Structure 1
Amino acid sequence: MDLPYYHGQLTKRECEALLLKGGMDGNFLIRDSESVPGALCLCVSFKKFVYTYRIFREKHGYYKIQTEDGTPKQIFPNLEELISRYEKPGQGMIVHLSNPIMRKNFCPRRQRPTLQPNIYENTNSDYVDVLP
């Protein structure tokens, strides 16, 4: 999955530590469910507590999220659209998604490295600093 806020097999405890670290409401990430095989968990922080919403994969690759009772069920063609919907206030979550917690080692597959201009042209030095 090519989403920077998808953390895979992160445990519930590790997830809570990440989301509550900054103390900011609306921190969120997606992880694999520990108790429901094949399901994902959308976890969001609010008032020093982490709320978890299960995401189920439907037929033909669509996604459905489990929200509060009384909220109409929504089906999304991909996870990006699901997240986009819940970044808006008043969509059935305890708080809108405002701050994605990114994986540290995220490197999108489709992104090509950008070439840096030759910064060593016209230098009079025998040595150069190596950039990270």
Structure 2
Amino acid sequence: MAAALPECYHGAMTKRECEEVLGRKNKDGAYLIRESETIQGALCLCVYKQKVVYTYRVLQAHNGNYTLLTAGGLQETYFKTLGDLIRNYKRKNQGLAIHLRHAVKKKTPMLIQPPRRPETQPEASAGRSAGRSSGASGGASGGHSFQRGAAPLPEEDNDYENAPNSDYVEVIPD
């Protein structure tokens, strides 16, 4: 079912939260789908019209088809997907207070992460080069493994100078 959920699906949301979201949109025909608070497994199609939110229960049959819960005596119409159900109720005169016009998409919180610097693995590269040097203990002294003539990464803001023909890096304080 997760793959077939439309962009207007908001998941678990209270009736009050739904009314606030649709009220902020303030457009007749604005709609969203949320999980029902009272019937487990049911969904609610909520539609805004003239400052009132109309809520319709959406049930899923055993065969996977969807229908709106109707008043007694009315013929139920089944749809293969929620998208089909929405397309149907976008047409006028289908039994809703107003036809669906404006899908209210769920806003997902953006994850702001600091930019990632490319990982350098001096220990791993030192181990590889030492392994290839047939037992010779070449490399930089002091446990650091800087290679002579290695170009710094272009996105780094270098605040040091490399002395030519040296295995050492001098750090200049700010």
Are 1:87 and 2:90 matched, yes or no? yes
Alignment of 1:67-86 (within 5 A): 67=70, 71-86=74-89
What letter is aligned with 2:14?
T
**1:25 CA drift (Å):** 0.6
Q: Which runs of 5+ in 2 are unaligned?
A: 110-153, 156-174
Quote the Cα distance in structure 2 between the aligned partners of 1:69 and 1:27.
Answer: 27
Contact 1:67 1:93 (C-alpha < 8 Å) held by counterparts: no
**1:67 CA drift (Å):** 3.6
1:66 — aligned with what?
69
Q: Deviations over 1:48-91 (max 9, x none)?
A: 00000000110211111124566431011110000000000100
2:42 — aligned with what?
39
Contact 1:67 1:92 (C-alpha < 8 Å) held by counterparts: no
Change (3 A) 1:50 1:15: same
Quote the Cα distance in structure 1 between the aligned partners of 2:41 and 2:11.
Answer: 11
Quote the Cα distance in structure 2 between the aligned partners of 1:82 and 1:17.
Answer: 24
Q: Helix, strand or coil for the counterpart of 1:60?
A: coil
1:130 — aligned with what?
none
1:122 — aligned with what?
none
Change (3 A) 1:71 1:91: farther
- Number of residues paired by the alignment? 108
TM-score, length-scaled by structure 2 = 0.58
Give the ranges of 4+ consecutive aligned residues of structure 1 lying more than 3 Å apart after TM superposition: 67-71
Quote the Cα distance in structure 2 between the aligned partners of 1:23 and 1:102.
Answer: 14
Change (3 A) 1:97 1:66: same
What CA RMSD, in Å, does the superposition of the two structures yield over aligned residues? Answer: 2.0
Q: Helix, strand or coil for the counterpart of 2:10?
A: coil
Quote the Cα distance in structure 2 between the aligned partners of 1:20 and 1:72.
Answer: 31
Quote the Cα distance in structure 2 between the aligned partners of 1:60 and 1:40.
Answer: 16
- The structure, 1 or 2, with the larger RCO (C-alpha pairs under 8 Å, 6+ apart) is 1
Q: Percent identity?
A: 41
- Bigger CA drift: 1-10 or 45-54? 1-10
- Of 5, 9, 17, the residue aligned with 2:8 is 5
